[in-house]
Amino acid sequence: MSAIFVLLSGLAAMALGYFVYSKFIAERIFQLDPDFRTPAHELEDGVDYVPTNKFILWGHHFTSVAGAAPIIGPAIAVIWGWGPAFAWVILGTIFFAGVHDAGAIWASVRHKARSIGAVTGDVVGPRARALFMIVIFLVLLMVNAVFAVAISGLLVNNPSAVVPAWGAIVVALIIGQMIYRFRINLLAVSIIGVVALYALIGIGPSVPVELPESVLGLPANSQWIILLFLYAAIASLLPVWVLLQPRDYINGLQLFIGLGLVYAAILLSNPSIVAPAFNTDVPAGTPSLIPLLFVTIACGAISGFHGLVSSGTTSKQISNEKDVRFVGYFGAVGEGCLALAAILVTTAGFATLGEWREIYGAFGDGGVNAFVTGGANIVAAGTGLSEAVAVTLLTVMAVLFAGTTMDTGVRLQRYIMQEWGTIYNLPILKNLPFATVLAVGACLALAFGAGGVDGTGGMLLWPLFGTTNQLLAGLTLLVMTVIIVRLGRSMWFTLIPLSFLLFMTTLALLVQLKTFYDAGNWFLFFLDILILVAAVMVLLEAVGVLRKHLRNAAATS
């Protein structure tokens, strides 16, 4: 099967979703009103509430939601063949993610741009709000642990990427100084930054860095994990303009360049997909496709994390309610494009089926390393770059995505700790260094607790992370459904995705519970139970509140 054919049909389907389905949802279900005075205008303060051009807002929204997750998820899920992953990414983007992301912005805009957690408290009730906070905490905990494990694996496997990946931090620090201290023109600085980053990638293969095999009994993977969290803790304490802001900016530019490069390379080299459409010969120990596919690919098909971005910041800047469709739905389409690229390079980036089967020897084996290897083969064939540089390029792309998410994740984790300190009146939690150490410590414990001292088993967490992320999306969809029912509009377009998600996540949790029990992995077993309890509570909450509102609606009509 030609990769170009799959690529074009995927893009065509998502375009159709945007032009037809999102139009229907925007006009009939959300009934977006261009005359509605959005919070950006009503509460304009030049700080949080700023009416923003929709293209710029889309840029912020997309770069905030796009990270390593839409790469890692599909890169693991193609073990069942490219067909199921492709179908879930495309249909998920069109019918789930687009509606969810745009709906979260819409719900927030109609509630004074408050966060979706606060809106949940208003619309559903305080219990659902508390549930929301717990699920957010679990998602952040897992995202930081999983990404640290993924980055450490990448750095160990590709020593050539160490210098450019850490060098990118230095580049960001210098850019921040150039902009704020020396007030150099931003366009010039952008060009310098991008050139410096790619120059580092160019020299990466000639200066490989490997950590010692063992320090204090810790293998290289664990050393990287500790170093990464040390970095994340320091980065989260620095003022944002010093590191986070320039790093996000360079990463955003790099996202567009990298995505463009991968798509261009596929179009230029026209590789064939060597992986089967449906893999009937999966390695032993691979769980069943249903329900695990739907939690392995979270971001790229639907992700609750997007709802946090949508309602926390994006909704405060929507200038015209009509822009919700472009910013939210098209943001999800952008994410779908990233996931589609990940599917294509991990299934068409290998010369033969045998080579592909070797990489996907066991469940969870392919992942981001398959993305790097396959992607490098395609980029090298399509652009004529040397294989070593292409490998470095793809590794740095994945590391930077995961790295910026970790930076933000640890910072958010700390905010939650400090907020708990205020709510429960525990002054020690409000202490900045203590809250940071606690946030980082919890993530470290998870990264090592999941898979022993070498930290490599941390990827076992991936499906659990996906499950929690889907639960969060389920909660947001529940809030939207309740609002829609109250307005007397058709609820099926959010209720069907909601039911599907809750059914699949609960099933996946039960399947994994048995796996962890059989493997005797008690740490993950208890984590699974914790998430299962949260899932059941979300389910009960959903049934209860919807029954109540439907009865009210029936009584009034």
Partner 1 sequence: MASDERHGESDGWRQWLRRASYYAEELYFGRYRSTIARARRDEEDLFMLLVYSEMMGVPNPASYYTMELQPLLLERFHDWHRRMGMERSPLDHFRCC
Interface with partner 1 (CB under 8 A): 46-48, 50, 52-53, 55-57, 59-60, 64, 179, 185-187, 190, 239-241, 244-245, 248-249, 252, 313, 317
Tell the smallest beta-carbon distance from residue 197 to partner 1 (Å): 16
Q: Residue 490: which region, alpha, beta or left (left: phi > 0; alpha: psi -120 to 50)?
A: beta
Comparison of 61 and 110: residue with beta carbon closer to partner 1: 61
Tell the smallest beta-carbon distance from residue 253 to partner 1 (Å): 9
Comparison of 58 and 363: residue with beta carbon closer to partner 1: 58
Comparison of 326 and 493: residue with beta carbon closer to partner 1: 326
Residues 32 and 103 sit within 8 Å (Cβ to Cβ): no
How far apart are the C-alpha atoms of 90 and 428, rounded to whole Å? 47
CA distances from residue 42 to 112, 115, 325, 365 in whole angstroms, order as listed: 9, 17, 20, 51
Tell the smallest beta-carbon distance from residue 429 to partner 1 (Å): 20
Comparison of 383 and 431: residue with beta carbon closer to partner 1: 431
Tell the smallest beta-carbon distance from residue 45 to partner 1 (Å): 9
Tell the smallest beta-carbon distance from residue 56 to partner 1 (Å): 5
Cβ count near 480 (within 10 Å): 29
Cα–chain-centroid distance for residue 30?
Answer: 25
Comparison of 256 and 263: residue with beta carbon closer to partner 1: 256
Tell the smallest beta-carbon distance from residue 40 to partner 1 (Å): 12
Main-chain dihedrals φ then ψ at residue 214, nearest 5 degrees: -150, 130
Tell the smallest beta-carbon distance from residue 50 to partner 1 (Å): 6
Tell the smallest beta-carbon distance from residue 265 to partner 1 (Å): 25
How far apart are the C-alpha atoms of 521 and 352, rounded to whole Å? 36
Residue in 474, 470, 457, 469 with CA at minimum distance from that of residue 516:
457
Q: Which two tokens stand for residue 126?
A: 């305080």
Residues 318 and 102 sit within 8 Å (Cβ to Cβ): no
Comparison of 187 and 216: residue with beta carbon closer to partner 1: 187
Comparison of 92 and 331: residue with beta carbon closer to partner 1: 331
Cβ count near 381 (within 10 Å): 18
Helix ranges, 349-487 (H): 353-359, 367-383, 387-423, 427-430, 432-451, 462-486
Comparison of 249 and 371: residue with beta carbon closer to partner 1: 249
Tell the smallest beta-carbon distance from residue 17 to partner 1 (Å): 26
For residue 282, the 8-state DSSP code is P
Tell the smallest beta-carbon distance from residue 239 to partner 1 (Å): 7
CA distances from residue 186 to 177, 178, 179, 197, 256 in whole angstroms, order as listed: 12, 9, 7, 16, 18
Cα–chain-centroid distance for residue 351?
Answer: 29
Comparison of 57 and 479: residue with beta carbon closer to partner 1: 57
**Burial of 94 by CB count in 10 Å (0-12 exposed, 13-18 middle, 19+ buried)?**
buried
How far apart are the C-alpha atoms of 399 and 336, rounded to whole Å? 19
Comparison of 436 and 521: residue with beta carbon closer to partner 1: 436
Give the alpha-carbon dihedral of 60, 466, 117, 134, to 10 degrees. Answer: -130
